[in-house]
Structure 1
Amino acid sequence: MAPDIVTDLLDFMDRPQAGDDEFNALALRLFAHQFRHNLAFQRYCQQQGKTLRTIKHWRDIPQVPINAFKDLTLSCVRPERCERVFMTSGTTRADVKGRHYHPHLRVYDRSMALHFSRRFMRGAQRLRMGILFPTEDMMPNSSLAHYLALALRDFGAPGSGYFVNPQGMDTEGLCDSLARAQRDGEPYALLGASYSFVHFMDELRQRGLAFSLPPGSRLFDTGGFKGQSRELAMDDFYRQLTASFGVPASACTNMYGMTELSTQFYDDGNATLPAVKSGPHWIRSRLVDPLSGRDVPTGERGVLAHCDLANFNSVTTILTEDVGVAVDGGFLLLGRAQGAQAKGCSMAMDAFLQAARA
């Protein structure tokens, strides 16, 4: 990747006032780079009749089906030159993991820090944090492990720490940490996978324990349940979080992210469900018909496609398998594609593989 593009990208991310024209210009520059250096992507674009001459707007950039990260190497540089490879959890195809190659983590880390500071920290410089997820040493290819490590390093106050170790959850240590925060009146932030919260709340229930964390405390969950815990309806989940920790649903942030992206979406609390998800100014989303790739009419359900400028080395534009609907301020996440939409995603994937392997 040409250093000047990375420099311009980081500068764009640092400026929240950056507008649509600048986003479009950067997206087109990144498309040109990826078209030239990502051969699988180039072949697919050519099959679709999309070239450097015909792409005039970021919405015109071909959407790469998310499962392509499992079957192909989507990288503008050789994989062995990459500083980090993040891998998917393999919950949909356990035998195959998607791989996202990062030549360096400067862009990914900046994306995390800027968005996390504004949307979760909300003016606080540091908070005492508890992390309900393994460390990077335990899971070196997990983007979430890295994400939470950054949160702890850059935003955690003294007394912060991990409460998952190779033996499992450190329930005693976490209970002690929460009790200390409750006693000291110091706001506390608990972050982790959604299923980790379920495991801990089940343990609290067995012990007959509940906490009332101080005002300013907040919770951060991500990833869904993925068969790692009992399934909960979202309203039940946040109701139980409030009962277990004394933190209102309005102070519970859910992150919608994926290994294949370098930017994540947050909501502004879960007092009303489903909550509106939105991202920072360097990612844009569309609701599309997966068969045609065209936007669905306003107000209709479509499959989410994201254009993430922080994906500078792979592909900027990804067709997910998640259904949503556009609303003021972002989108509502409604679940996985089913029926005709799922078939459309599958057909888009088949078309991509046929082109990329030609």
Structure 2
Amino acid sequence: MKETLGSGEKLEFEKAAMDLFQIQYKHNPVYRQWCDYVKGTPDRVNSLEDIPFLPIGFFKQKQLSIFKAEPELFFRSSGTGGYGQSKHAAYDPDFYDLRTQRIFEATYGPIQELCVLALLPAYLEREGSSLVRMAQHFINLSGDPDSGFYLHNLEALADKLKAKQAAGKKILLLGVSFALWDLAEQFPQNLSGQIIMETGGMKGRRKELIRADLHQIFKGAFQVDAIHSEYGMTELFSQAYSRGDGLFYPPDSMRVYSREMEDPFSRASFGKTGGLNIIDLANMDTCAFIETQDLGRCYEDASFEVLGRFDRAEVRGCNLMIG
């Protein structure tokens, strides 16, 4: 399955998910204990709907892995809010790099044609960010020598954006929301036709706004028709993208379902608000079946929207906004 996901070949999702459930039940002791606890053992799992989803908080408490050996590295969450860090074992970081590339390019085309400018100050100031690794990989792939990271030097970034826009170069400006807001206020400019992408996350730096209102600010400041969004987290090896309509479209390695608010073991109907459950086949070495604390709605075309977080849920660095 890793070869299929890496090559971009078409995957038979349901069969792959059922096979991966069997593997992870057998070899991931934490996931197996959870499945036993909720009576989701292999003899009871006959379809995708029967597969148990592991509450995402286990990534803070346990090392989730189908292997006994230590991984090459760990991706770590910010731990915003004092609830501790999630830790996601990465046994094959090169596969993560390749997967992020395949997913992005399936939506936006070749990265090598872009100037990638990453405005990710809060993520650059700590170690183990999967988002920073993804951005670094995109920067490396970019054919533009001006691609790179920006920490707090907004004026230099604004000058670079202006020069690239004037030269007719295609830009990906990837930024955490509070930093993009600072840029929008201090250095508004015409970036029409460019990809302005927020990754979520105010991290207590700015007032919380619903995503739609924040996007209106960005669209006005940068004179673009849409603000793009990335949905990702430490606990996932896959990402989903929104091109500005509020709907995220998962890649072929990922499916998102909503669960009933009062019954986490039942799926919510299409269009109904519920907690988001995610199957991420790229999490093949850890746990592919995750019950998140995000609220959202799922639709028949496999798209989904993110509406916020459960009450008392940890404030997460990647998704602080509601929208």
Runs of 4+ deviating beyond 6 Å: none
1:324 paired residue among 280, 296, 305: 296
After superposition, the C-alpha distances for 1:315-334 in whole angstroms (9 at most, x for unaligned) are 11111111112224311211
Contact 2:113–2:170 (8 Å) recurs in 1: no
Please tell me whether residue 189 in structure 1 is matched to residue 176 in structure 2.
no
The amino acid that maps onto 1:257 is: G
Q: Paired residue for 1:46, among 23, 27, 36?
A: 36
Q: In the alignment, is the contact (CA less than 8 A) between 1:182 and 1:211 conserved in 2?
A: no
- 2-side partners of 1:23 and 1:244: how far apart? 41
- What letter is aligned with 1:117? E
**1:254 shift after superposition:** 0.4
Aligned counterpart for 1:33 among listed residues 18, 23, 37: 23
- Three-state SS of the structure 2 residue aligned to 1:305 is strand
CA contact (8 A) 1:69 1:98 kept: yes
| Separation in structure 2 between the aligned mates of residue 30 and residue 124 of structure 1, nearest angstrom | 30
The one-letter amino acid of 1:276's match is L
Contact 1:50/1:62 (<8 A) preserved: yes
How far the C-alpha of 1:175 sits from its partner, in A, is 2.1
Aligned twin of 1:346: none
What is aligned with 2:190? 212
For 1:288, the equivalent position in structure 2 comes to: 259
Aligned mates of 1:298, 1:163 — CA distance in 2: 40
Identify which of 89, 94, 103 aligns with 1:115.
Answer: 103
Q: Which residue of 2 aligns with 1:58?
A: 48
Change (3 A) 1:137 1:123: closer
- Alpha carbons of 1:26 and 1:147: their partners in 2 closer, same or farther (altered >3 Å)? same
Alpha-carbon offset, residue 123 of structure 1: 5.4
Cα drift, residue 156 of structure 1:
5.1
What are the Cα deviations for residues 15-53 of structure 1, in whole angstroms up to 9, with x where unaligned?
4543xxx21222122222211221111111112222233
Deviation at 1:63, TM superposition (A): 0.6
SS at match of 2:216: helix
* Alignment partner, residue 87 of structure 2: 99
Q: What's the counterpart of residue 140 of structure 1?
A: 127
State whether structure 2 residue 266 is matched by structure 1 residue 300. no
Q: Secondary structure at the match of 1:295?
A: coil
Distance change in 2, residues 1:307/1:197 (3 Å):
same
1:161 paired to 2:161:
no
CA distance in 2, matches of 1:135, 1:336: 21
2:4 is matched by which residue type in structure 1? D
Task: Quote the residue 1:202 is aligned against.
Answer: 185
User: Normalising to structure 2: TM-score of the pair?
Assistant: 0.88
Change over 3 Å in CA distance of 1:56–1:328 after alignment to 2: closer
In structure 2, relative to structure 1, the CA distance for the partners of 1:301 and 1:160 (3 Å cut) is same
Instruction: Report which of the two has the higher share of helix.
Output: 1
Aligned partners of 1:260, 1:301: CA distance in 2, in Å?
22
TM-score of the pair, normalised by structure 1: 0.80
Q: Is the 8 A contact 1:16 1:281 kept in 2?
A: no
Residue 59 (structure 2) aligns with? 69
Q: Percent identity?
A: 29
Q: Does the C-alpha gap of structure 1 residues 12 and 104 become closer, same or farther in structure 2, counting only changes over 3 Å?
A: closer
Greater gyration radius: 1
Q: Residues 316 and 228 from structure 1, CA distance in 2 versus in 1: closer, same or farther, beyond 3 angstroms?
A: same
Amino acid at match of 1:103: Y
Deviation readout 1:195-245 (Å, 9 max, x if unpaired): 2101222333xxxxx3112x5311111033231223233233222222322
Matched ranges for 1:231-246 at <5 A? 231-246=208-223
Asked if 2 retains the 8 angstrom alpha-carbon contact of 1:287 and 1:295, the reply is yes
Comparing 258-267 with 329-338, which one deviates more in the overlay? Answer: 329-338
Cα RMSD for the two superposed structures: 2.3
Give how far 1:11 is off. Answer: 1.0
Aligned residue among 90, 105, 109 for 2:79:
90
Using the TM superposition, give the Cα deviation of residue 179 of structure 1 relative to its aligned residue in structure 2, in angstroms: 2.1
Q: Tell me the amino acid that sits aligned with residue 2 of structure 2.
A: L
Query: 2-side partners of 1:125 and 1:73: how far apart?
Result: 36
In the TM superposition, what are the counterparts of 1:244-263 in structure 2 within 5 Å? 244-249=221-226, 252-263=227-238
Q: Which runs of 5+ in 2 are unaligned?
A: 314-323
Q: Give 1:230's aligned amino acid.
A: K
The AA in structure 2 aligned to 1:285 is V
